[in-house]
Amino acid sequence: MAFVTTAEVCDANQELIRSGELRALQPIFQIYGRRQIFSGPVVTVKVFEDNGLIRQFLEEKGNGRVLVVDGGGSQRCAILGGNPVVQAQNNGWAGIIVNGCIRDVDEINGCDIGVRALASHPIKASKKGLGEQRVPVNIAGTRICDGEWVYADTDGVLVSQTELSV
């Protein structure tokens, strides 16, 4: 879906919006990383103030996927930092969406990857590896399931049950 905006996707897919097959996340995320526009199939992780599972996923080949992290909306620590984002960039992830905080913003902004997060925070998370993977998550008013598709640009973030063509 190169160079098609999320607004154009919405305009061209009104029936999918009405049916709930195409959903827009509430506009609560800050934009980080050099890649402001990204899309790909979703991999979900649910954690709380722990980034062990996040790091495990980003060590894998991304193959253009988007990691969607439900961090419970915590703003008490950062569950994603610069090192894992550099690794994600190098491993071919298209983007990371974090319902929580990140840190090392300058380093992340230098990476060729798309990152959305609630805010930045200097305190790091624990690394116990606690959480769930590949489970449905509820973020920004929207249920997101593993295997769905994300489309993000500067207008917002869309989630689709299937890959879209416009």
Structure confidence by residue, pLDDT tens digits, 29-75: 999 999 999 999 999 999 999 999 999 999 999 999 999 999 999 99
Residue 84, marked binder: yes
Q: How many other CB atoms sit within 10 Å of the CB of residue 49?
A: 20
Query: Residue 58 corresponds to which tokens in the numbers above?
Result: 């980003």
Q: Does the pLDDT of residue 158 top 50, yes or no?
A: yes
Task: Report the candidate in 144, 164, 125 with the shortest Cα–Cα distance to residue 66.
Answer: 144
Residue 136, marked binder: no
Query: Residue 55 corresponds to which tokens in the numbers above?
Result: 């790091």
Secondary structure letter of residue 125 according to DSSP: P
Residue 104, marked binder: yes
Residue 103, marked binder: yes
β 95-102/114-120 pair status: parallel
For residue 56, the number of C-alpha atoms closer than 13 Å in the C-beta half-sphere is: 17
Predicted TM-score (pTM) of the model is 0.96
